Chain A
Amino acid sequence: MTELLEPRAIGRDTVRRDGEAKVRGTATYAIETPVQHPAYVHPVQATVPLGRITGIDTSAAEAIEGVVAVLTHENAERLASTDDREFAVLQSDEVAFRGQVVAVVVAETSELARQGADAVEVTYAEQPHDSALRVDHPDLYKPEKINPSFETDTAEGDVAAAMATAHVTVEETYSTAMYHNNPLEMHATTALWDPSAEVPLTLWDSTQGVHPDRAAVCEVFGLEQEQVRVICPFVGGGFGSKGTPHAHVFLATMAARAVPGRPVKLGLTRQQMFSLVGYRTPTIQRMQLAADRTGRLQAIAIDVVEQTSRIKEFAEQTGVPTRMMYASPNRRTTHRLAALDVPVPSWMRAPGECPGMFGPEVAMDELAERLGIDPVELRIRNEPERDPETGKPWSSRNLVQCLREGAERFGWADRPPAGHREGAWLVGTGVASSVYPTMRQATSTARIRYEDGRYVAEIGAADLGTGAWTVLPQIAADALDVDEGDVEVRIGDTRYPIASVAGGSSGTNTWGSALTVAAREFRTKFGRSPADGDEVSGDVDQASKDDAHAAYAFGAQFVEVRVNVDTGELRVPRLYGVFGAGRIINPRTARSQLLGGMTMGLSMALHENSVWDTRLGQVANHDLAEYHVTVNADVGDMQAHWLDEHDPYVNVMGSKGIGEIGITGTAAAVVNAVHRATGIRIRDLPVTLDKVLTALP
């Protein structure tokens, strides 16, 4: 039990501190970094999905006036570490996936770099590739662990026996598509290698964590941390794709080292992002539910099949939410992977929970239908008293309250009957639960200094557009017991103390905890009247930590879907979410986060789909004209609400993470609403109009 900070700045609807600079266009992003006389880098990508480079002719590129250098596996520097094969750029003649970078051209302008890249002639010995995921892939294997370090499989009791004897069962297979993160700001790195400087390598990189970025670069190039500085004040979205560096960061560094003293800029194109910066694996989810006649679950099981790349494993933890969401005596989760000749999958907003709240939450709706029980009520009846996975009590679990408040706000009790028609539209309503674990990273340090009458806090944190610039000062102000205006927090630079990645919705929890430790130390050491220059650091590992409770944020999402009776076009006039996510630090940035997550969930439901061309081994629709994300016209009234939740166990702010929970469950709620409108149960995302056509009058 932790005594929570007295909220004064916390909870206030303060404006974004970085808002004005962004609106005025003065906030510089990585590619815009003002540097002297930069050169530009453009990658050449493999056009075969598997094979070897048999020849690479750079002479035409080098002959172009303005081309400074062409790097290939034949002339690029040998890296200190090639253990991570995604990072080991230009080290061999092997091509492991289509779109892999086989050369980079460095030139005086970005146009010349592109021209040079076009002029590089590469010949390949192509080998037969395998890039098609299927549930019966012969090479499915069981990974050692799933992201980041969960058990791959879990089992309790006897699911098969429960399925055989239960009053009602659901046994269905669901699938989610391949998704690409597609932040608005395309991945970019500006790099300077100046061997004569005290810090020879400077990277201005669009990243979710300057320190993790630096650690990877040091490892790959054999540099000491003191030799590298990473700077990133602003990020135009990442959604996990900037959570770890990808090939371009190492390519930019390599290019910079090839032209010492001259800065280089590498900005990926949107099309290149579809093979070089990670994506969410497609998932196939076989669900089993068994229930007694009152709707109490007797068994819940999910068997997941998904893919990874042959050169680097990423095992999405899709089955993890099934382990803790509902009470059931018999339970099973498994994960099997196919390692394919495909680009490397990675984190994308709520890895695990996002796809993993699709199959189970549609299956719950199917169960409710078979039992004739309201789907809100069915979920309430299966509320576990303790975490079914660990047996621990919940730090706070307000799923039932979220469902009830959401139902009230939405008018669930008075919802129209199945198949209801208004004019040319069939109307359906649906619900699903949301969940996301409350995580705190083990490493982060904040430094607080009293400077010119203000408190300056420094920590190498990242603001992806999420609000860190704004909420960290709120936390520091309350921790120091001063006005928010007396606090400045500086982030986004490895010159500041180490900070964890902005991922797993853990940033505010982790960095905020470090700030509160530093503030406490500061007051202990210097009292309330510090001298100019007084300075102290605090580590997150000194913050009170509770291991006795299972900590999660919960939520419920309610959707109204309209399906056109003539064309099957789908519209979502209403999408409401209610969340129990601890204390909300800033309602303005929190609402954006929750609505953004819900929008991305809606996008997953209706639109997003990286169409994998199994013949070519690449995403066919690799730009934003063809890879559709939801637009304003698709949706009407979207609302995010939250409970006034008091959780004394998570941290002294009382806050849980809110960056990812919004995307979980949304797609299931949409599918459930489409079923109520049309009678069609769509188990494979996205829900497109062709899938409902046959059900229309």
Chain B
Amino acid sequence: MGFTRRGVLSAALGGATALATGYRPAFAQGAPIKVGILHSLSGTMAISETTLKDVMLMLIEQQNAKGGLLGRKLEPVVVDPASNWPLFAEKARELISKEKVSSVFGCWTSVSRKSVLPVFKELNNILFYPVQYEGEESERNVFYTGAAPNQQAIPAVDYLMSKDGGEAKRWVLAGTDYVYPRTTNKILEAYLISKGVAPADIMINYTPFGHSDWQTIVSDIKKFGSAGKKTAVVSTINGDANVPFYKELGNQGIKATDIPVVAFSVGEEELAGIDTKPLLGHLAAWNYFQSVKDPANDAFIKAWKAYKKSDKAVTNDPMEAHVIGFNMWVKAVEKVGTVDIDKVIDALPGITAPNLTGGVSTMLANHHITKPVLIGEVRADGQFDVVWKTSGLVPGDAWTDHLPGSKDLEADWVTLKCGNYNTVLKKCG
């Protein structure tokens, strides 16, 4: 309901934030390079997106301290789309046409990304999208620094099927009812069936946003898990509904050792505000965890805590994605010596940037990046213990190999210049 009215109110607040963050050290020459930040600072998504705005401001501040970019200062332009999908498009238009930004870092939900896509195509600008998503997309103007399904969902399922993961034979795919869980679960279902899992051993369940009464579903899961086969839950349950879900699991006595839950949307940020007792031992699949010991990560966490002036500030996966995306953009701009949109878009594939878990990520021709996949276990302090990790970096696959419609599609913006090239029909689109 009523996102529109809320949006009007909070857009004003967002504008005020943008004004407050300006500052000016001395720079050699030229007008500042503007960088757009398009994250909700109010409304339901503010819970996740506010920190992404902050991390961008910090990265820009750090870059300016290093002397800016091409000898020019970077200037952040913050707008607040207020968790309102149509407003995302409006704000994107404002950033590009009015503020003339050189790139935009933003969006969280898939629907917000879909909403701004036409704007970015029409006005030709660059969007860095930092969140794990359902894939099935590759656009010339968008660079996807979050995980595609083959960089999160598929490896997580592989882990649960392995000996260490408990050799799960029966699967509950539980998700919130919107595009990301539905597509991910469709891919996972096809993948599981291809691995020899009987359709009767897969239970798919969707719940509305913010679902808080999990009694029936948890008791169903318990019943489903009593078929004499090891059962695991793959959760694409979104943000707010997770806490009551795990609480109910704990209350009904389902332990992680009986039925483990692997979540794709529960990170450090989400755990920061909750009682972790019912979650202990449950799993999450990401490409980054704050607990990973690595010099680059330690430095980033230290800088972040100093920037937030709080020792309790946590880091998470989408933040790392923005770090990688921002560094790649900086490198690409330095490489071509200009912020010209077309030149930067062409320069980005092939650019590498260190990720925070000890590897070097590469921007691929399909505008996705290579990432390691990590499985972490919830600890009492709200952090994750990494219990499993892919041996190398996994390249992001825009079009999944497990669905009939997208199996034959390929995205390649370098040689094919196409986001959905059909390898059977040998044509684009």
On whether the two chains bind one another, the answer is: no
